[in-house]
Amino acid sequence: MKTFLIPSIVMNAEKNCKEAIINFLIEHQCPQCGAPAVLEETDRLFACQFCRVNSYLMADDFFRYLLPHPPDENKNIVYFPYWRFKGMLFFCGPTSIHNRFVDVSHQAIEAPIFPISVGVRSQAMKLRFATADMKGRFLKPQQTFDKFLNTFQERFGKSLPKPILHQSNIGETLSLIYSPFYLTDRLHDAILDKPVSARLPEDFDIDEFSGDRPQWHIRFVSTLCPSCGWNLEGDRAALVLSCKNCNSTWYPVGKKLKQLKFAQFPGKVDNTIYLPFWRIKADISGINLDSYADLIAVANLPKVVQSGWNDIPFRFWIPAFKVRPKVFLHLATHTTLSQPRKKPITELPDARIYPTTLPIEEAVESLKLTLADFMKPRRTIMERLSDIQIDAKSFTLVFMPFKEGHHEFIQPDYQLTINRNVLVLSKNL
Ligand SMILES: [Zn+2]
Ligand SMILES: [Zn+2]
């Protein structure tokens, strides 16, 4: 049987982070017709194969899952919470930027009696959404997610050259996984039906852990265009949906889909695929970076500033899709240095659109990192990075045409190439 591993942060996260990327499967039911469905963790647009109704998936704050166990009336099940983090970590050191993609879980309550992470599970095992109507006792997380992440960042940062001038985590999936246990004179894993602790101390009292029973909901939002009532379209993993009827794009904000500013660079040839980028306008203090001319100075580009370049406003260009950290940073830096200046039009492309899978909030997290990647000479980073503040002000989703080759997607105007395999492998990130 194939197994997957969610490494504990204590034991082996650093060694295993490359091999342990998981995309969970989640058992669910269509909210319209009740037909059973299996979702992938990255799914946002759910298309029911039976009633054909589409809906868009949203959680209250983050997704909460539980690991199902064989039913047994005689056991009092206790669900123990684990934080799960899946995403990119970047550490900017004095001479280079280090990155890691990690997929880790860790106790959300400090309790040595329970296993420290979700641990090894069968890949055949599907998760369920934890919702308010479920039986069992849910223990309340005591440790915040930020604390878990800080501990993990510290551990990883230990082995890196000092000082660490800036660090960020980007594109993360944050979720809570509840794993079932029951008690006799020992603690038992209810999935494996096996003890996982030694004999419990006399004074052990599970009731000392506080319970949690808030109103959790998974929202299935209608995918009819809020503006014209037409069907919104998108890939199953797409955060952004589009309406071809009224030429609009939609994006989750709070509990609703809201309209999103978008544009495309026309440039359709045969085999065009449009890749989405976040174009972000930001207030930058601590460094002079308002125009294209400023960028040439900050990045020390081998170009002579021409008249008018002082008037071209500087924008960040960040990939709006999840991809391996090294490729992500390379694309962000390269596209930002290119400052694409073709005139965009506000029309949806009539070719394939690669799904937007990286939220704007995550793209914003990468701005300082991108700047640190192109600032030259490197010693200025040591001297100035900590004084620099970047404040995102507005953004537009821009679809950029790429020509689909055998092995790569190529953007000829800005010399961008993305290996197709890299994108295929990024589906699970
Ligand atoms: Zn259905
Ligand atoms: Zn519409």
The number of C-alpha atoms within 13 Å of 371 and in the hemisphere containing its C-beta is: 37
Give pairs for 224-229: CB < 8 Å, separation 24+.
225/250, 226/250, 226/256, 226/257, 226/259, 227/259
Contact 398, 277 (CB under 8 A): yes
Tokens of 124: 């055949």
Q: Which helix (H) or strand (E) holds 332?
A: helix 325-338
What is the spatial distance between Cα 421 and Cα 406, in angstroms, rounded to a whole number? 10
Tokens 């004095």, located at residue: 94
CA of 19 to the centre of ligand 1 (A): 35
Instruction: State the pLDDT at residue 21.
Output: 60
Put residue 193 in one of left, alpha, beta given phi > 0 → left and psi -120 to 50 → alpha.
left
Lowest mean pLDDT among 175-179, 204-208, 271-275: 204-208
319-331 per-position pLDDT tens digit: 999 999 999 999 9
15-38 per-position pLDDT tens digit: 333 445 667 899 999 988 999 999
Q: Could you say which ligand is closest to the alpha carbon of residue 233?
A: 2
* Identity of the highest mean pLDDT range in 84-98, 258-272, 360-374: 360-374
3-class SS at 59? strand
CA of 36 to the centre of ligand 1 (A): 8
CA of 37 to the centre of ligand 1 (A): 9
CA of 238 to the centre of ligand 2 (A): 17
Contact 118, 8 (CB under 8 A): no
Instruction: State the pLDDT at residue 214.
Output: 66
Give the model's confidence band at 171: pLDDT under 50 very low, under 70 low, under 90 confident, else very high.
Answer: confident
Handedness of CA 267, 273, 275, 276 (dihedral sign): positive
391-405 per-position pLDDT tens digit: 999 999 999 999 999
Instruction: State the pLDDT at residue 124.
Output: 62
pTM: 0.91
Instruction: State the pLDDT at residue 389.
Output: 96
406-422 per-position pLDDT tens digit: 999 999 999 999 999 98
- Which DSSP string corresponds to 199-252? SPPTT--GGGSPB------EEEEE-B-TTT-PBPB--TT-SSEEETTTTEEEEE
CA of 250 to the centre of ligand 2 (A): 9
CA of 306 to the centre of ligand 1 (A): 59
